[in-house]
Chains A and B, each alone.
Chain A
Amino acid sequence: GENVEQHPSTLSVQEGDSAVIKCTYSDSASNYFPWYKQELGKRPQLIIDIRSNVGEKKDQRIAVTLNKTAKHFSLHITETQPEDSAVYFCAASQGNTPLVFGKGTRLSVIA
């Protein structure tokens, strides 16, 4: 089955700097890669996703890139703000199978 590895497990950045979180997946049949954000004490929420027919997708300060050959995808957050502090989860699926989540990255944005 699918296995998703996520790095780093913790990340601290200064406010205004960029943050990058990386994930690798094992199943070449996976074609859907969402990212979820979980604020402290809250439920995870989808922030951006990408399908395998696209190499990059942006939404304001957030972008996701996908390298199908290397089987890895990354979340990029630019101009980080204190409200970006949260745990971020990547996930992968074949589109008709359950999502498999990475173990999460705790991002701290230091003002």
Chain B
Amino acid sequence: NAGVTQTPKFQVLKTGQSMTLQCAQDMNHEYMSWYRQDPGMGLRLIHYSVGAGITDQGEVPNGYNVSRSTTEDFPLRLLSAAPSQTSVYFCASSHRDGGKETQYFGPGTRLLVL
């Protein structure tokens, strides 16, 4: 199993450009999430999905869109990139069982917005 994969690994954007960060998992997990990691801020939830066709907002959703058309894929779209979106983005998938949840993170995408 590849686990959780993300592409690209690194991206530079200009302010106002749009792009999609790809995320895929092959563990048949129902839950998928997007986090951003900034120095001193921990892991902040952007959007999450509890299954195909179902998404919801996290703590910092503004400027981002998501969709979940399949169990495997959960792309994150930046509509109009801003310097404040410079960050490391992690996708994660998980399975909840008896109140326990293990998040499996992807390798991350480092985004720089100029």
Contacts and interface: CB of A to CB of B under 8 A. Distances in A.
A43 B107 contact: yes
Nearest to B3: A43
A31 B105 CA distance: 22
B107 A101 contact: no
B42 A98 contact: no
Interface stretch (A13-21, A61-69, A76-84, A88-96): A88-96
Interface string A45-77: 110010100000000000000000000000000
Interface stretch (B14-22, B60-68, B69-77, B94-102): B94-102
B102 A46 contact: yes
A89 B39 CA distance: 13
Contacts of B105: 43-45
Specify the main secondary structure of chain B where it touches its partner: strand
Contacts of B52: none
B7 to A, nearest CB: 14
Contacts, number: 56
Q: How large is the interface on B (under 10, 10 to 19, 20 to 34, 35 or more residues)?
A: 20 to 34
Of residues B33, B102, B103, which shows the largest number of chain A Cβ atoms within 10 Å of its Cβ?
Answer: B103
A99 B42 contact: no
Interface string A21-47: 000000000011010100000111110
Q: How large is the interface on A (under 10, 10 to 19, 20 to 34, 35 or more residues)?
A: 20 to 34
A12 interface: no
B41 interface: yes
Contact of A51 (B43, B96, B99): B99
B30 to A, nearest CB: 12
Given A95-B96, A95-B101, A43 B106 contact: yes
Contacts of B51: none
Given A98-B45, A102-B42, 6 more contacts: A9-B40, A34-B101, A51-B99, A51-B100, A101-B35, A101-B42
